[in-house]
Amino acid sequence: MSTANTPRLSGRQGVGGAVERRSAGINKACRNATVKILDTLGLKTPIKKVVRATRNLGIPKSEPHILRELPHDPSAFTQGLHIHDGVLYESTGLVGQSSLRVIDRQTGAILKKITVEGQFAEGIAVLDDRLVQLLWYSQQALVYRLPDLMPLEPYRYSGEGWGMTATQKYFLTSHGTGEIVYRGRDFKEIKSLKVSINGFPLKGINDLAWANGSIYCNVLRDNNLYEVDENHGKVVNIFDCSRIVEMAAPPGDANVLNGIAYDEQTDTFIVTGKRWQKYFQVKLGNRP
């Protein structure tokens, strides 16, 4: 890059910038050291729970009502679920194990499996006659034609891909932050929604589902599902899935709650997690 037209920093600007960068580095090192000390003392998890409980104060909280359990492939590193026209689709991750699956909703059996070679697959959603499957770090999304799942030209986007769902007009994607991005049918970004809980950003948003003006999401390494009002981005309900996690999740930090899909035909949700033994069909909150 030519530097001929690059403005020079004044002494104050140069020194100030260096001081700011050094200060930021020191702050980060202090945070990391503090976290390490708390972890060594066995205090990291209890403190985290206290902070989360304080953040959640005043927001209605309940447990999902379990209607039915289905067997789930315990080797499936689930990254996303979606139901369209009564068909349950599942995306699984890890390079060398990523796939797109069609699941029998009565037995949990895999009716069809498409291997995703050399990629780490993430969330999925359907809009019109296109099923789209995010990839974690490749900055592209695989596109399949419905109902035969014929591969089409992939969509391109910037940043990481995590969870996804769709409304009647938009794809909604998450990226592990506290924002949800709305995308058009061509997958171009239209707007974003900042999600908050009692004024705090809800960070680590992962898989998504949309139902009747609300967005439902799970958060990485969190046993709750969160209902978000898409008009203002505020969390309005919390659903504690701890009992479901205990029933289905095998040991291991990676085997977390991840995967939620809304079934419009029954007004219920399907939830599961990474390497879980079961899917659960559940009712959430006061939904009739």
Residues 32 and 165 in one domain: no
> The CATH number of the domain where 232 resides is what?
2.120.10.30
Q: Does any domain span residue 37?
A: yes
Banded pLDDT at 4 (limits 50, 70, 90): very low
What pLDDT sits at residue 236?
Answer: 95
**Domain match, 176 and 43 both:** no
pLDDT digits (tens, 9 = 90+) for 244-272: 999 998 888 888 999 999 999 999 999 99
Give the Å distances, CA to CA, from 90 to 17, 76, 87, 100, 122.
Answer: 47, 9, 10, 6, 10
Residue 88 has pLDDT above 80, yes or no: yes
Separation between Cα atoms, residue 26 and residue 28, nearest integer Å: 5
CA angle 109, 121, 274 (to 5 degrees): 55
**84 and 15 share one domain:** no
Q: What pLDDT, on the 0 to 100 scale, is given for residue 56? A: 80
Q: By mean pLDDT, which of 9-23, 45-59, 138-152 is the weakest?
A: 9-23
Is the same domain home to 184 and 50?
no
pLDDT band at 171 (very low <50, low <70, confident <90, very high): very high
Are 153 and 24 in a shared domain?
A: no
Number of domains the chain is built from: 2
Clarify whether residues 133 and 38 are in a common domain. no
Q: Inform me whether the pLDDT recorded for 9 exceeds 50.
A: no
The number of CA neighbours under 13 Å toward the Cβ of 42 is 0
Residue 144 lies in a domain: yes
User: Does 120 map to a domain?
Assistant: yes
Report the chain's mean pLDDT, rounded to a whole number. 86
pLDDT of 37 = 75
Query: With 90 as the cut, is the pLDDT of residue 180 above it?
Result: yes
Kindly state whether residue 162 falls inside one of the protein's structural domains: yes
CA distances for 62 relative to 28, 65, 170, 227, angstroms: 36, 9, 29, 12
Contact assessment for residue 152 and residue 145, using Cβ atoms and an 8 Å cutoff: yes
Containing domain of residue 51, as a range? Answer: 11-55
Q: Is residue 208 part of a domain?
A: yes
Q: Are 27 and 159 members of one domain?
A: no
pLDDT at residue number 287: 52
| pLDDT surpasses 80 at 165 | yes
| Upper half-sphere CA count for residue 133 (Cβ side, 13 Å) | 30
In-domain check, residue 26: yes
Q: Are residues 25 and 133 in the same domain?
A: no
- Cα–Cα distance for residue pair 254/215, rounded to 1 Å: 24
Q: Greatest CA span in the chain, whole angstroms?
A: 70
Q: Is the pLDDT of residue 214 over 80?
A: yes
The stretch 196-214 carries a mean pLDDT of 94
Q: Is 253 part of any domain? A: yes
Residues 6+ apart with CB under 8 A from 145: 129, 130, 131, 151, 152
Q: Is residue 5 part of a domain?
A: no
Mean of the pLDDT values across residues 214-236? 94
Do 44 and 74 sit in the same domain of this protein?
A: no
Shared domain for 44 and 82, answered yes or no, is: no
